[in-house]
Structure formats: structure tokens, C-alpha cells
Structure 1
């Protein structure tokens, strides 16, 4: 598990979340804790190292 900070693609606030490094790749939707809009999250680990992270707007929202 590791804490990762990123910027909300809607309100531009910095968000913190805990990522599970036991999942090599993960894709899911989580609401911004500030503006409550849905964010598509994609991330990939290599061992315990985060090698890719993307947070993007949901299409049509």
C-alpha cells in the first residue's frame, strides 16, 4: 500500500489516495473528495514501484 497524490481533473484540487501495490494493474472510478465528480483512475505497479498513474474526467460528465 502506498499513498499517492494527484490533481482532480475537474476542480484542480490535490487529492490523496492509498493505492494497493498487490494489484499489478488497476482501473476504477472514484468520486473526488472535494467536488464529488467521478474520476477514472488507471494505475500500474512493477513490484512495489508505481510506474503509471492517470486520473481523467468521465466522458460526457
Structure 2
């Protein structure tokens, strides 16, 4: 199995800080939860990938 990892910079929807996340681009559409490395609150990520590249990444709070 080939893994295609990319580092992406996003803005935390809670504290507003820029953080870097690592995305597995071998999965076309995925949703997962990862804690902010600054404020430690859970961010819900929705990621779309195509042919090993991130097409879109959205980060939102649990309330959205």
C-alpha cells in the first residue's frame, strides 16, 4: 500500500492560530477529528483528495 502524506496549514476554528496538519491523500474523501496543537480543542476535518493531492480541506468546530 502506498501512502501519500501532505502537510497542510489551516486556521483553527476555535483559537484562530495557523497550525499544520498531516493529511493522508490515499483516501479520496474522509472526515476525522484532530485536536488543535495550540488550544487542544477538537477540530473536525473534512478532506477531499484526488490522485494523491489534497483538493479541499475544511476545518470546523463540533458545533457547526
Q: Normalising to structure 2: TM-score of the pair?
A: 0.86
Q: Does 1:6 align with 2:10?
A: yes
Alignment match, 2:20: 16
CA RMSD of aligned residues (A): 1.2
Unpaired stretches in structure 1, ≥5 consecutive residues: none
Alignment match, 1:50: 54
* Structure 1 runs of 4+ with >4 Å offset: none
2: CA distance between counterparts of 1:55 and 1:12? 11
How many residues are treated as equivalent by the alignment?
Answer: 60
Q: Normalising to structure 1: TM-score of the pair?
A: 0.90
